[in-house]
A and B are shown apart, each in its own frame.
Chain A
Amino acid sequence: MTAEAIPDFPFDRATALEPPTELAELREQCPVAHVRLPSGDTAALVTRYDDARAVMADPRFSRNLARDGAARLSTTKDGGLFSRRKMGSEDISEGQGHLRWRRLLSRSFTVRRMEVWRPRIQAMTDELLDSLVAKGSPGNLSAGLGLPLPVRVICALVGAPSEDQDKFAHWSRTMLTLTRNTQEEVDEAYQGFNTYVSDLVDRNRANPGDDLLSELTQISDSEDGRLSQAELIATVRGLLLAGHETTSNMIAIMVAMLLSERERFEAVIDDPELIPGTVEEVLRLDSTLSAIGGVPRFITEDVNLSGVEVPAGSTLIPNTPAANRDPRKFPEPERFDPRRENNQHLTFGAGPHFCLGQPLARMELQVVLGTLARRLPSLQLRDAPGDLQLRTGGISGGLQDVWVTW
């Protein structure tokens, strides 16, 4: 393959909600395909379900693209989020250290602990929807509900003031740049975010509460090797960033996907038992949340994927939207079916790095969908689905403001 033949990635697309046609073509014809990233480096795009899952779940493969020889994603000098040196939090990023770190956090994300949050999430959703409705139709669903709900939830869970959400939103977006920010802006964002979190830890130490930050600060202060101060700050920063850039985008995407083919929304109004299955299909069929479709892995050993020998030293991008439409795994993959059984999509990943916040994200999406179906059954998109615009320039994608009428 010549350098000229390597296509630029991310691929263009006809409309925001439709995945680029190249993904299906590659999945059938070239399941491990070289692509050129915005940095100019090349990586291999993995588009079949079994291969993508294998790449995500293999504990030998590293998510640390700061390693020598790994591809850089972004146009900034540091190569982007996954290439940045972890500055004191390397130990919790991979392997046994990562497992121990997860054990500290996962107690706050168990199914039982999440159920305690359901009524609070419902109350926050109702309150935000009251304000949106009070302002009158049409309303900006992204700004009025999609962004503020996950931010309030994660801030309450962590123990951070949600009034500062504009700051975290700005820092998070900047840290996730693909093509939109300069190195200087990225450095400023890290400095700002780290200082903010460090101050938050100090304030919280003086006045602890019943939240995750207080719990983690105590663990860190005990200096028993479980969590260093640098790891504590990286953890809190990561939780706040994740609370902004994933669930918030997904709420707007969900509303757009359901209202663009409105029978999907009407089915939920008629039968609220379809809420969980509808959320799962939205998660499976989304192709916008991540601009690159998944978290890259750097492989340190050769691997065989669909008969292709991939050499050690390659950077692989398991592409979730392509894998989630693989007919080898999902019968009639293009069909939106809220009654689909064994819907084991890869939107939350697989393996030891499986999304920590997954039960919270699922609950927020379910509460939002149930509330909209119950309270605003006349909900419609203000604009034609074809006019929805992607957010571009970042690793995290999603849609620009989604406006609705009722």
Chain B
Amino acid sequence: MKVSVDQDLCCASGLCVMKADQVFDQREEDGVVIVLDEAPPLDQHEAVRAAAAACPTLAIQLSE
């Protein structure tokens, strides 16, 4: 799995961090998403898919 995000779309909801805090974080200065692990291990995949589906602006792209 490969994870990428569109920071220009991000509305800083933090939902991805709530779903998968091993893979996503928020920038201190404005809450915009950062990816901690662009190729997360298998045991994170389900949480990452949930984070992508929950994103209010669909700013998370996954390729599997």
Residues of A within 8 A of B (CB): 57, 99, 102-104, 106-107, 109-112, 114, 342, 344, 348-354, 358-359
User: B13 near A: Cβ within 8 Å?
Assistant: yes
Q: A344-B53, A350-B56, A352-B11 are in contact. Are A103 and B32 (CB under 8 A)?
A: yes
5 closest A-B pairs by CB: A106-B12, A106-B31, A354-B56, A111-B14, A103-B30
Identity of the chain B residue whose Cβ is nearest the Cβ of A346 in the assembled complex: B56
Q: Is B4 an interface residue (CB 8 A)?
A: no
Known: A110-B14, A111-B17. A57 touches B26 (CB 8 A): no
Give the residue name and chain of the B residue nearest to A98 (CB). B11
Q: Does B64 make an interface contact (CB < 8 A)?
A: no
Q: Which residues of B contact A99 (CB under 8 A)?
A: 8
Contacts of B12 in A (CB 8 A): 102-103, 106, 109-110
B18-33 residues with Cβ-Cβ distance < 8 A to A are 18, 21, 26, 28-32
* A57 and B31 form a contact (CB under 8 A): no
Report if A104-B30 is in contact (Cβ < 8 Å); known contacts: A111-B14, A344-B54: yes
Interface of A: prevailing SS: helix
- Among candidates A102, A104, A111, A351, residue contacting B26 with C-beta atoms closer than 8 Å: A111
Q: List CB contacts (< 8 Å) of B26-64 with chain A.
A: 26, 28-32, 50, 53-54, 56-58
Partner pick for A57 among B17, B32, B53, B57, CB 8 A cutoff: B57
| Chain B residues positioned under 8 Å from A106 (CB to CB) | 11-12, 30-32
Most B-side CB within 10 Å, residue of A99, A106, A109, A353: A106
Whether the Cβ atoms of A349 and B31 lie closer than 8 Å is no
